[in-house]
A = this chain, B = another copy of it.
Amino acid sequence: MNDRKQHVIKMAHQLFIEKGYQATSIQDILEYSGISKGTFYNYFSSKSELLIAIYKTIYKKLQQDRNEILIGQNPSDIEIFIKQIEMQMITNRKHKLITLYEEVMASNDIDLKQYIQRSRLNSLHWLFGRFIDLFGEDKKPYLLDCAIMFTGLLQHNLQYNRMAFESGEQISHVVRYSVNRLVKMVEDVVMDGDQLHKPELLEKWLPGCKKDNRKIIEQLYESTSSLKSVYIKNIKDEKDLEKYTELLDFIQEEIIHTRSPRKYLIESALLTLKQNSANLGQNELQMIDQIVIDLLNIAAENV
């Protein structure tokens, strides 16, 4: 992406955090980032499209970080889960994501609303999957409810904690407290056999969502991550290194975030990696190859 465009995104992001989305006019952004109106509308078709661009960068980073915490760890370890949630809540606060969410939902921009709605459902879906890791497949019927209630309860706890302690909020304390409540809530709801929403709803809400492939995606993260470190250790030429990481990032991005991944592009990228990286990390490459095949098959089924 254009450096200049990236700069505008960064500046606008700052302004949105400081003053809020609505309160920031396009004129403000133009002045703050030193571009003209023409350039702005050359980059983005509207203010909301700019916001989406900002969201995407934050959210991608968040997913990456979230998965990195899990790499090589036991997914049923609740301490790991707490770390993941903590990290997400800190990101939320840093970027004032909740406020921006609310502002968007209040606006009249349907595209933006849908986008935000989808990303919220994505988070819910992730949480649901993690709950299966934590509490076991057998409790699955109750875990969507628990994911819904946990997000609500956590959000409110954080909100009022912030109100109580202003700047000195204790995110990690609140997260731990909320997770404690969650654990008991799961027990309670399982014991009562009380279900409010069927987990199948998630598939209705997120059509084309990569179903049941979360673990495979986590493996993909793990493999690409370790392959990257192999490259970093062994490749001296900076140009080559940049090239390979770009290829790897592309594969990850394409297969995880694209509705219908472009199969041949991915295969070609993989081939380039295999042929050019001087026999480095052949194991990882083979792993990635297999994972990509699996994921593409699942994607094909979901069409």
| Interface residues of A, Cβ cutoff 8 Å to B | 20-23, 99, 102-103, 105-108, 145, 148-149, 151-157, 160-161, 163-164, 173-174, 177, 180-181, 184-185, 188-189, 192, 194, 196-197, 201, 204-205
Contact = CB atoms under 8 A, between A and B. Distances in A.
A163 B118 CA distance: 12
Listed from nearest, the 7 A-B pairs whose CB atoms lie closest are A152-B156, A152-B152, A106-B106, A103-B106, A184-B188, A149-B153, A152-B153
B197 A22 contact: no
Contacts of A148: 156-157, 160
Contacts of A151: 156
A197 B152 contact: no
A180 B192 contact: yes
Contacts of A189: 181
A108 B22 contact: yes
Copies of this chain assembled into the complex: 2
A204 B177 CA distance: 23
Given A102-B106, A160-B201, A181-B188, 5 more contacts: A22-B106, A99-B105, A149-B153, A152-B153, A152-B157
29 contacts: A22-B108, A23-B108, A102-B102, A102-B105, A102-B106, A106-B107, A145-B157, A148-B157, A149-B153, A149-B157, A149-B181, A152-B152, A152-B155, A152-B157, A157-B196, A160-B201, A161-B196, A163-B205, A164-B197, A164-B204, A173-B196, A174-B196, A177-B196, A180-B192, A180-B194, A181-B185, A184-B184, A184-B185, A185-B185
A303 B148 CA distance: 42
A183 to B, nearest CB: 9
A137 to B, nearest CB: 22
Given A152-B155, A185-B184, A161 B194 contact: no
A236 to B, nearest CB: 51
Scoring A148, A164, A181 by chain B CB atoms within 10 A of each residue's CB, the highest score goes to A181
